[in-house]
Structure 1
Amino acid sequence: MPAIMPWVIGNWKMNPETPTAQQQLTQQLIDHIAEHLASGAALVNLNLAVAPTLLHLLTVQQQLQQAKSAVQVIAQDVSRFAGTGAYTGDVSAQLLANAGIGMTLIGHSERRSLYGEDATVLREKLQAAINAGLKVVFCVGETLTEREAGQAEQVVLQQLDEVFDCIDLQHWQQNLMVAYEPVWAIGTGKTASPQDAESMHAAIRAGLKNYHSSLVDLPILYGGSVKPDNAASLAACANINGALVGGASLDADSFIKIARAFSQDRKAG
């Protein structure tokens, strides 16, 4: 299997609190990248992205573009409804695309658990995003109860199976990546061991290959309390192709250290 270029994505969730804090966080990210480049520690063969709040999406994008930063800006979520219309509070995939946003998260565990997003909603979101030309990070993961019951792999593979046929194979090949986020490790400080994470990533990859052999090269990211002190061990796993970073992405130094761990690891995925 050829090497898969890693992704490290910072999900800022509903942070930071003020526009000034957002601007400072973005500037710190720009400055830290510049410092690493100046020291010769280039972030090579790596895709970097951040997902700000909807309120700050375009201002972060503008700030990064003005600094000529390679960091991409992606949306945390997207409407299930296409185009424009009477959908108060929603932002459609077409509106995101028109604003120059090319990627979105879909299916994050917080959207599933706090907002009741089921397979029907997620299928509609995927279809809307793909039809508008967006790339998608599709999130899957099990709860602690499901893991302790020995159902982790079954649950995760079912989450993929529930949406697989809603878009065609070509879009899976070109516009999708998967993020495995064990729900019990998000925001809790707990992290799946590298062995557990690798085992699940291998199962996901095998499941994707079962759909079609070409999907064996799909990037699969790990999300679940990724920090600088565990990033290297996760990056060393053959089937982990990057990280979806939560709280640690709100500190630019920590985020870049995580990025460095995946940049340094040139394994064949």
Structure 2
Amino acid sequence: MSGAAITPWVVGNWKMNPLRADAKQLVEELKQLLQNQNIEESKCHIGVAPIALALQSVQAQFSDSSRNICVVAQDLSRIAGTGAYTGEISAELLKDSEIDYVLIGHSERREVLGDSPAVINEKVKHALSAGLTVIYCVGESLEQREKGLAEQTVLQQICDIAAVVKAEQWRQIVIAYEPIWAIGTGKTASPEDAQAMHAKLREGLSQITPAGRSMAILYGGSVKPENAVELAACPDINGALVGGASLNAESFYQIAQAFANTK
């Protein structure tokens, strides 16, 4: 299925940023840009992933926006429900707070904070069971790419979660491909390389589930306005998971506009 048949997603991952006043200003600036020149929801889903402390305040601030903006949790607990688990936020608690989207498997969680495939599987299972939409991140390191293991690595990461995803739940998943060597480095995979990996992911997903043909696959890794149009033109790139550029409302808006206009 070509990217033209899939509504793109542009999601801003704010990571451990910004301070409260700056977050409030960022949201207001984005709302104003959308008020001045709206991006139709049918042409592009837009979301932001603030820190856990700000999820509900950001959601409340977007409540009077000219269009829906999805508020996305950056992570969740591997433990379901409620209980004596200090510092944890479960899928059910997110859902109860009307947060319907969550990032899982980001390379910073895997590489820096020790999320193993087993832990990630628990997170995916609980998120889907609670009715959340999962933005599942995959990607290879520079070493893996140089050894010719890039495709094998990302396809294995897809296969890792297949054991816990029920047939009907694949439609609750968005895939985000982020080559680790391109995150926050200013380096970006060429549109040709990114498209080739997205096509391989589409092929792999289609072998696992019929939903694979219609699942959105986002590109992440130093996405900015200057490369968004080229990336959006690739048939199997259905949006972007945006890091640093999402902390600037104008840049983030331009990336969303590029995907809305190209797709």
Task: State the distance in 2 between where 1:226 and 1:232 align.
Answer: 10
Q: Is the 8 A contact 1:43 1:260 kept in 2?
A: no
Deviations 1:52-95 (A, max 9, x none): 00011100000001335411101010111011111111100000
Q: Percent identity?
A: 51
How far residue 216 of structure 1 moved from its aligned partner, in angstroms, is 1.4
In the alignment, residue 35 of structure 2 is paired with which amino acid? A
Local SS of the residue matching 2:176: strand
Of 48, 52, 76, the residue aligned with 2:74 is 76
Alignment of structure 1 residues 136-147 onto 2, 5 Å? 136-147=134-145
Tell whether 2:16 aligns with 1:14: yes
Distance verdict in 2 for CA 1:228–1:132, change over 3 Å:
same
Q: Is the 8 A contact 1:36 1:42 kept in 2?
A: no
Task: State the distance in 2 between where 1:66 and 1:130 align.
Answer: 28
Of 126, 135, 144, the residue aligned with 1:128 is 126
Aligned to 1:262: 259
How far residue 131 of structure 1 moved from its aligned partner, in angstroms, is 1.0
In the alignment, residue 31 of structure 2 is paired with which amino acid? I
Task: State the distance in 2 between where 1:110 and 1:152 align.
Answer: 17
Task: State the distance in 2 between where 1:30 and 1:221 align.
Answer: 23
How far residue 214 of structure 1 moved from its aligned partner, in angstroms, is 3.2
In the alignment, residue 116 of structure 2 is paired with which amino acid? D
How far residue 210 of structure 1 moved from its aligned partner, in angstroms, is 1.0
Deviations 1:191-240 (A, max 9, x none): 00000000000000000111133321111000000000000000000000
Aligned to 1:23: 24
**TM-score, L = length of structure 1:** 0.94
Task: State the distance in 1 between where 2:210 and 2:32 align.
Answer: 41
Aligned to 1:60: 58
Aligned to 1:211: 208
Q: Is the 8 A contact 1:43 1:259 kept in 2?
A: no
Distance verdict in 2 for CA 1:213–1:42, change over 3 Å:
closer
Distance verdict in 2 for CA 1:214–1:20, change over 3 Å:
closer
How far residue 21 of structure 1 moved from its aligned partner, in angstroms, is 1.1
Task: State the distance in 1 between where 2:101 and 2:152 align.
Answer: 28
Aligned to 2:195: 198
Of 106, 115, 118, the residue aligned with 2:116 is 118
Local SS of the residue matching 1:82: coil
In the alignment, residue 110 of structure 2 is paired with which amino acid? R
How far residue 12 of structure 1 moved from its aligned partner, in angstroms, is 0.5
Task: State the distance in 2 between where 1:114 and 1:86 align.
Answer: 25
- Where structure 2 has 5 or more consecutive residues not aligned to the other structure, the ranges are none
Aligned to 1:175: 172
Tell me which moved more, 65-74 or 132-141.
Answer: 65-74
Local SS of the residue matching 1:264: helix
How far residue 44 of structure 1 moved from its aligned partner, in angstroms, is 5.0
Alignment of structure 1 residues 201-240 onto 2, 5 Å? 201-240=198-237
Aligned to 2:158: 160
How far residue 119 of structure 1 moved from its aligned partner, in angstroms, is 0.8
Root-mean-square deviation (CA, aligned residues, Å) is 1.2
Aligned to 1:5: 7
Tell whether 2:189 aligns with 1:189: no
Q: Is the 8 A contact 1:141 1:156 kept in 2?
A: yes
Q: Is the 8 A contact 2:41 2:67 kept in 1?
A: no
Local SS of the residue matching 1:20: helix
